[in-house]
Structure formats: structure tokens, C-alpha cells
């Protein structure tokens, strides 16, 4: 068993190393699920086989010591050197390969349950959600806000709230479902979303906006036009690059429901199909979103982002956001 455990840890290190180096894309949810099953198998084997076997060996050791002492006492020797308790503890001790498998099962199980059904941490890798979220923000995502889903396959078991306009949502990227994206919900099923000449409109009605002071991006060392946008009850800030044209080019991967969108030099107009959502980044001219790759199906929803729990470069960013 020690050789098998070493082989499993070697395979895990190989997989994580290739993932880190970019040789393949990893699936942390699937990895955590497999680790939970494997460590549970070791934990079960420890409780049902290995621990009883060690306990039986310790009992045999004690019985042998007791017989030895009884025989010596029969011969008139009352004082016997040696203490079997230390040897018993050594026999009962878990070997290293059980410490690093069965011993980790409760911790891995707890992480798996918390991450799958309650809250999942994410790191913001790009600036598409500036100024709401900055590169390097470590955020928490509420996994049950939109319903309870089975881990790995993401099938909904229990419905909860529906996504609302203005929600900051994490979802599986429609072009590559192994990648998680974060954007803001702009269009609901049945909505007509237009983004023409940098102005967002829903069902023919312009979304209310209010000019704000310019935003200074410390990473790009430049100022951007900043606007407060009102999506339903949510007021949030967006950035607009005045120097970029409103025209967008759809990606070749945008195939399903492609006919629901009309592109022009001014921008794009899309009719959101049933069971799908139209997503946009708050950094409007620096965001690959539904304008480029299409709509997000309901089955790809991961959860609602709501809290920055750490940014090692700027601790002031810690807190809730809209």
C-alpha cells in the first residue's frame, strides 16, 4: 500500500505540475472530487481493516508479554524488566501512507462540501471588471444563491433565486467550459440588449447613466471616462474608452443563436434566447464578453460574486461590492 500511495502522489504532482506549466488545463472541482473519493477509500479501509489489524497485533503483543511474565513468576521471578506499552503504541501508530490519505479525508471532505455548495474562492486574472474588481482581487462566490448544484457536472438540484440585471456572476465560459469567467448580468431571457455608440439600452429604453470623475488606472497609467450605470436596483461604475470605436467583431466560436444578434459600425443589438443571459464587463472597451462570444446558458452558472476577501497589493479593496 505504501508503494501504491507513493504512485498516487506522484501522479498528483505530475498533474499539478503540468497544470501549473500550462501543458493542459486543470479542473479543480473534478480533482477535489477525486481526492475526496480516494481519501474516503483509505479512511474506510483504515476503520474497517488496518486499524482493527493493528489493534489485534497489539493485543497479541500484550498477551505474549503477559504469558512471559506469568511464566517468570511461576519460576519465582517477580521483578521483570521491560515495558510493553511503548511497543504497543508503535504497533498502533498509523503508517505515513495512512496519515497522508485517511488522515486528510475529513479536511478534504469539508473543503469539498464548502466549495461545492456554499462559497468558492476565485482570483481576478484580468482587468475586464475594473473598476468594480481589480486584477489580483481574491473574491468569494455564493454557490447557492442561484440554486444548489451537483459538483463537477453542475446540474441544478434545488432552485433558488434567478439571476437579476446588475448581478456580478461567475459562470463557465461558453467557448471553453473548463474556464470560469466573471462578468455582470446585463440581459435576461427575452430581453433585447443594444450597445450602440457606447450607450447600453434594454428593450428599447436607455439604461440611466451619470457622469463621474475620470478613473486613473495604476496598471496602465492612464485615465478613463467613468460613468455610473443603473441596472435595475444596482448602481455600479463602468469605464469607457472614448478613443475606441463602438464596432465589435464576433468570434468565430459564436455559433449558437448567432442570428439573434445584429452587428453594425455603431455596435451590436441582441435578443437574449430563453434560458440564457447576456453578460458584459464593467471595463466596457476592454472586456471579451457576450458581444463577442454569445450568450451564457443557465446550466453554466457557477454563482454570485459578492465579496473581496483579500488583495495582497491593496488591502483597502477588502469588502463587499455591487
The catalytic residues are: 128, 183
How is residue 272 annotated by DSSP?
P
Q: H/E element holding 186?
A: strand 180-187
* Cis bond upstream, residue 131 (ω within 30): yes
Which of 192, 199, 164, 179 is closest to 288 using CA atoms? 179
Copy the grid coordinates of residue 235. Answer: 448602481
b/e per residue, 104-133, with b = 16+ CB within 10 A? bbeebbeebeebbeebbebebeebbbbbbb
Longest distance between any two alpha carbons in the chain, whole Å: 108
Please report, for residues 71, 77, 79, 244, the alpha-carbon distance to residue 84 in angstroms, rounded to integers and kept in the order given: 16, 18, 15, 81
Q: Measured between alpha carbons, how far is 140 from 122 in angstroms, rounded to an integer? A: 6
Q: How far is CA 188 from the centre of its chain?
A: 24
Which residue shows C-alpha cell 479543480? 28
Q: What is the DSSP string of 65-92?
A: HHHHHHHHHHTT-------HHHHHHHHH
Type and span of the H or E element at 15: helix 2-21
Amino acid at each position: 500500500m505504501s508503494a501504491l500511495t507513493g504512485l498516487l502522489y506522484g501522479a498528483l504532482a505530475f498533474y499539478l505540475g503540468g497544470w501549473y506549466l500550462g501543458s493542459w488545463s486543470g479542473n479543480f472541482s473534478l480533482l477535489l472530487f477525486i481526492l475526496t473519493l480516494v481519501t474516503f477509500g483509505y479512511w474506510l479501509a483504515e476503520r474497517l481493516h488496518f486499524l482493527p489489524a493493528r489493534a489485534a497485533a497489539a493485543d497479541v503483543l500484550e498477551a505474549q508479554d503477559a504469558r512471559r511474565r506469568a511464566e517468570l513468576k511461576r519460576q519465582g521471578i517477580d521483578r521483570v524488566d521491560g515495558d510493553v506499552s511503548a511497543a504497543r503504541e508503535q504497533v498502533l501508530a498509523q503508517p505515513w501512507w495512512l496519515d497522508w490519505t485517511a488522515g486528510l479525508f475529513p479536511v478534504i471532505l469539508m473543503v469539498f462540501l464548502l466549495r461545492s455548495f456554499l462559497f468558492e474562492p476565485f482570483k481576478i486574472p484580468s482587468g475586464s471588471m475594473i473598476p468594480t474588481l481589480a486584477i489580483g482581487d481574491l473574491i468569494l462566490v455564493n454557490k447557492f444563491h442561484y440554486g444548489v448544484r451537483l459538483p463537477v457536472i453542475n446540474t441544478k438540484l434545488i432552485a433558488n433565486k434567478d439571476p437579476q440585471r446588475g448581478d456580478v456572476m461567475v459562470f463557465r465560459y461558453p467557448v471553453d467550459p473548463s474556464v470560469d469567467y466573471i462578468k455582470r448580468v446585463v440581459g435576461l431571457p427575452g430581453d433585447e440588449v443594444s450597445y450602440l455608440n457606447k450607450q447600453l439600452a434594454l428593450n428599447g429604453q436607455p439604461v440611466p447613466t451619470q457622469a463621474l470623475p475620470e478613473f486613473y488606472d495604476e496598471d496602465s497609467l492612464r485615465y478613463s471616462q467613468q460613468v455610473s450605470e443603473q441596472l435595475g436596483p444596482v448602481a455600479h461604475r463602468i469605464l469607457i474608452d472614448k478613443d475606441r470605436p463602438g464596432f465589435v467583431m464576433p468570434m468565430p466560436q459564436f455559433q449558437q443563436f448567432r442570428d439573434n444578434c445584429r452587428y453594425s459600425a455603431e455596435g451590436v443589438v441582441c435578443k437574449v434566447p430563453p434560458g440564457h443571459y447576456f453578460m458584459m464587463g464593467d471595463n466596457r472597451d476592454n472586456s471579451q464578453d457576450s458581444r463577442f462570444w454569445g450568450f451564457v446558458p443557465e446550466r453554466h452558472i457557477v454563482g454570485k460574486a459578492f465579496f473581496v476577501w483579500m488583495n495582497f497589493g491593496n488591502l483597502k479593496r477588502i469588502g463587499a461590492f455591487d
